[in-house]
Amino acid sequence: MKLLGREDIRPLLEESFASSGLLLHERELGAEFFNLRSGIAGELFQLFENYGQKLALVVPDPRIYSKHFLDLVAEHRNHSRIRFFGDEKKARAWLGRSG
């Protein structure tokens, strides 16, 4: 699944319940996600937090985005529900998945 707009947030949450969390790669995140003024990242994060679901985001080099986005990544370094990772292996391990 992809996050291209607000209409994709609920289906992603629903998918997370089927697999005890959700892993999204940078390529699955639309440009609006990285534009924090759009509010899409905040809405996604709030919904996952409200429902107690884990969200792992694989963004190998967050430095290519805005300073604000880099700050967001840093703020979620040790977050209990939402974290950014540089590679899929670490994201899967955090979610408790193998392979």
This prediction's pTM: 0.94
Domains: count for the chain: 1
Residue 66 lies in a domain: yes
pLDDT confidence tier of residue 6, bands split at 50, 70 and 90:
very high
Residue 1 lies in a domain: no
Residue 99 lies in a domain: no
Residue 85 lies in a domain: yes
Cite the DSSP H helix spans in the chain: 9-18, 31-34, 40-50, 67-75, 88-95
pLDDT tens-digit profile of 37-78? 999 999 999 999 999 999 999 999 999 999 999 999 999 999
Residue 27 lies in a domain: yes
Residue type, 24: L
Structural domain of 17: 6-94
Residue 81 lies in a domain: yes
Residue 29 lies in a domain: yes
Residue 39 lies in a domain: yes
Other Cβ atoms less than 10 A from the Cβ of 74: the count is 11
